[in-house]
Amino acid sequence: MYKKVNPRENFPELEEKILKFWNENKIFEESVNKPSNNGNFSFYDGPPFATGLPHYGHLVAGTIKDVFPRYKTMQGFKVERIWGWDTHGLPIENIVEQELDFKTKDQVEEYGIDNFNEKCREKVLVYAEEWKKIVERTGRWIDMDNAYLTMNIEFMESVWWVFKSLYEKGLIYEGHKVMPYCPRCSTPLSNFEVGQGYKDKNDKAITVKFQSEEDKNLYFLAWTTTPWTLPGNLALTVGSKIEYAVVSNKKEKYILAKDRLDSYKEELGDFKVEETLLGEKLVGNKYKPIFDYYKNPKKAFEIITGDFVSTEDGTGIVHTAPAFGEDDNRVAKEHGIDFFMPVDDMGNFTIDVPEYAGQSVVEFNTNENIINDLENKVLKVENITHSYPHCWRCKTPLLYKGVSSWFVAVSKVKDKMLKSNQETYWLPDAIGHARFKKLIENAPDWSISRNRFWGTPIPVWRCEECKKVKIIGGSEELKNASGSEIKDIHLHKIKDINIKCECGKDMKLSGEVLDCWFESGSMPFASIHYPYENEEKFERDFPADFIAEGIDQTRGWFYSLMVLSNALFDKSSFKSVVVNGTILAEDGQKMSKSLKNYPDPMDIVHKYGADAMRFYLMGSPAVKAEDLRFSEKGVDEVLKKVILTLWNSYSFFVTYASLDNFKPTGNLKTENVLDKWILSKLNNLVKNITEKMDKYELSITVKDLSDFVDSLSNWYIRRSRKRFWKSENDFDKLSAYEVLNHCLVTYVKILSPFMPFVSEEIYQNLVISQDAKEEKSIHLTSWPEPEKNEDNKVEENMDYVRLAVEAGLSKRAENAIKVRQPLKKLTVSGSLDDLPSDYLEIIKEEVNIKEVVLKKSNDFTVELDTKLTTELEQEGIAREFVRTVQSMRKKADFNVEDRIKISYSTQDKKVDDSLSTFSDNSLYNIKKETLADIITTESLVSEYSEDVKINGIEVTIGINRVK
The CA-atom distances, in angstroms, between 377 and each of 82, 214, 270, 373, 729 are: 62, 17, 19, 9, 100
Q: What is the dihedral of CA 847, 852, 853, 857, to 10 degrees?
A: 40
What is the structure's pLDDT at 921?
Answer: 75
CA angle 540, 543, 546 (to 5 degrees): 110
| DSSP H helical ranges for 609-730 | 610-618, 632-638, 644-659, 673-694, 698-711, 718-725
Give burial (CB, 10 Å; 0-12/13-18/19+) of 265.
exposed
Sign of torsion, CA 484 487 492 494?
positive
Closest C-alpha to 820, from 951, 909, 939: 951
Using CA atoms, how far apart are residues 391 and 556, in angstroms rounded to an integer? 14
**Model confidence at 805, in pLDDT bands (50, 70, 90)?**
very high
Once rounded to an integer, what is the mean pLDDT over residues 540-561? 95
Is 517 labeled as catalytic in the residue annotation?
A: yes
Catalytic site includes residue 856: no
Reported as a pLDDT band with limits 50, 70 and 90, residue 111 is: very high
Contacts of 192 (CB under 8 A, 6+ apart): 439, 443, 446, 517, 555, 556, 559, 560
Q: Report, in this order, helix, strand and coil percent for the chain, each rounded to 5.
A: 45, 20, 35
Pairing relationship of beta strands 172-182 and 399-408 according to DSSP bridges: antiparallel
Active-site residue, 86 included: yes
Query: Would you state the pLDDT for residue 957?
Result: 95
For residues 799-826, average pLDDT: 95
Contact 897, 659 (CB under 8 A): yes
Q: What does each C-alpha distance from 785 to 40, 156, 746, 886 come to in angstroms?
A: 20, 45, 10, 41
Tens of pLDDT, residues 221-261: 999 999 999 999 999 999 999 999 999 998 899 999 999 99
Instruction: Yes or no: say if 757 and 610 are a contact pair by the CB < 8 Å rule.
Output: yes
Q: Which amino acid is at 740?
A: L
Enter the CATH code of domain 198-389: 3.90.740.10
Q: Check whether 523 has a pLDDT greater than 90.
A: yes
Catalytic residue among 593, 640, 891, 949: 593
| CB neighbour list of residue 378: distance below 8 Å, 6 or more residues apart | 206, 207, 208, 209, 371
- CB distance 345 to 262 below 8 Å: no
| CA 485 from centroid of its chain's CA atoms | 45
Asked if 481 and 111 count as a contact pair (C-beta separation under 8 A), the reply is no
What are the residue boundaries of the structural domains of the chain, listed by start? 198-389, 794-865, 870-961
pLDDT digits (tens, 9 = 90+) for 631-690: 999 999 999 999 999 999 999 999 999 999 999 998 989 989 999 999 999 999 999 999
- Rounded Cα distance, 755 and 735, in Å: 28
Distance, CA of 189 to CA of 466 (rounded, Å): 30
Strand partners, 583: 628
- CA distance linking residue 786 with residue 682, whole number of Å: 9
pLDDT band of residue 584 (cuts 50, 70, 90) is: very high
The Cα–Cα gap between 87 and 121 comes to: 8
Closest CA to 221 of 182, 172, 263, 192: 263
What is the length of the chain? 963
Cα separation of 532 and 159, whole Å?
Answer: 11
* Strand ranges for 449-494 from DSSP E: 449-450, 460-463, 469-471
- Set 12, 22, 47, 392: catalytic member: 47
Q: Where are the alpha helices (DSSP H) in 815-858?
A: 837-847
Residue 298 has pLDDT above 90, yes or no: no
Active-site residue, selected from the candidate residues 131, 141, 228, 557 = 557
**Rounded distance between C-alpha atoms, residue 164 and residue 267, angstroms:** 58
- Which member of 66, 161, 553, 676 is catalytic? 553
pLDDT band at 790 (very low <50, low <70, confident <90, very high): low
| Sheet with 460-463: strands ordered across | 469-471, 460-463, 506-509, 499-500
pLDDT tens per residue, range 458-488 = 999 999 889 999 999 999 999 999 999 999 9
Question: Alpha-carbon distance 117 to 387, whole Å?
Answer: 34
What are 176's strand-pairing partners?
404
947-957 mean pLDDT: 92
Q: Which of 517, 647, 677, 715 is catalytic?
A: 517
* 294 close to 300: Cβ distance less than 8 angstroms: yes
How confident is the prediction for the chain on average, in pLDDT? 93
Phi and psi dihedrals of 592, rounded to 5? -135, 125
**Annotated catalytic residue 342:** no
- The band of 596, judged by pLDDT with boundaries at 50, 70 and 90, is confident
Residue 362 — very low, low, confident or very high, per pLDDT cuts 50/70/90? confident
Is the preceding peptide bond at 543 cis, omega within 30 degrees of 0? yes
Cβ atoms of 763 and 748 closer than 8 Å:
yes
Mean of the pLDDT values across residues 380-396? Answer: 87
Please report which confidence band the pLDDT of residue 702 belongs to, taking 50, 70 and 90 as the band edges: very high
∠ Cα 675 680 685 (to 5°): 125
Spatial distance between the Cα atoms of 158 and 935, rounded to a whole number of angstroms: 85
Does a cis peptide bond (omega within 30 degrees of 0) precede residue 35? no
| Cα(77)–Cα(279) distance, integer angstroms | 65
**Binning pLDDT at 50, 70 and 90, where does residue 397 land?**
confident
Domain 198-389 and domain 794-865 have a common topology: no
User: Which tens digit of pLDDT belongs to each residue from 868-900?
Assistant: 999 999 999 999 999 999 999 999 999 988 999
Show Cβ contacts of residue 810 under 8 Å, excluding neighbours closer than 6 positions: none
Q: What CA dihedral angle connects 646, 650, 653 and 657, to 10 degrees?
A: 170
Candidates 590, 641, 726, 818; catalytic one = 590
Give the DSSP per-residue string, 219-280: EEEEEES-GGGGGG--EEEE-TTSEEEEEE-SS-EEEEEGGGGGGGHHHH-S-EEEEEEEGG
Which of the following is catalytic: 86, 445, 545, 552? 86
pTM: 0.87
Average pLDDT over residues 701-724: 94
Q: Is the dihedral of CA 792, 794, 800, 803 positive or negative?
A: negative
At the second CATH level, the architecture of 794-865 is 2-Layer Sandwich (3.30)
Q: Assess whether 333 carries a catalytic annotation.
A: no
Q: Is residue 201 within 8 Å of 183, Cβ to Cβ?
A: no
Residue 728: per-residue pLDDT: 67
Amino acid occupying residue 197: G
SS (H, E, C) 31-95: HHHCCCCCCECCECCCCCECCCCCCHHHHHHHHHHHHHHHHHHHCCCECCCEEEEECCCHHHHHH
- Reduced to 3 states (helix: H, G, I; strand: E, B; else coil), residue 396 is coil
What pLDDT score was predicted for residue 726? Answer: 72
Give the H/E segment covering residue 405. strand 399-408
Instruction: Enumerate residues 6+ apart whose C-beta is below 8 A from 849.
Output: 808, 822, 823, 824, 825, 826, 843, 864, 865
**Residue 470 confidence (pLDDT):** 96
In angstroms, rounded to a whole number, what is the distance separating the alpha carbons of residues 258 and 254?
11
Mean pLDDT within 608-620: 97
Handedness of CA 501, 505, 506, 507 (dihedral sign): negative
Residue 78 binned pLDDT confidence (cut-offs 50, 70, 90): very high
pLDDT at 20 over 70: yes
Q: Please tell me the least confidently modeled range out of 71-85, 330-344, 723-737, 949-963.
A: 723-737
Active site residue 4: no
- CB 778, CB 752: distance < 8 Å: yes
Percent of the chain topping pLDDT 70: 99
Whether 389 is catalytic: no
* Coil/strand/helix, residue 134: helix
List Cβ neighbours of 472 (8 Å cut-off, separation of 6 or more).
160, 164, 459, 461, 478, 481
pLDDT value of position 725: 80
Do the bridges between strand 218-224 and strand 953-961 make them parallel or antiparallel, or are there none, so unpaired? unpaired
Nearest to 503 by CA among 470, 457, 472, 459: 470
Q: Residue 935: which of 943, 924, 947, 925 has the closest Cα?
A: 925
Cα 163 from Cα 167, distance rounded (Å):
6
pLDDT of 924 strictly over 90: no
Residues β-bridged to residue 207: 223, 380
Question: How many Cα atoms within 13 Å fall on the side-chain side of residue 284?
Answer: 2
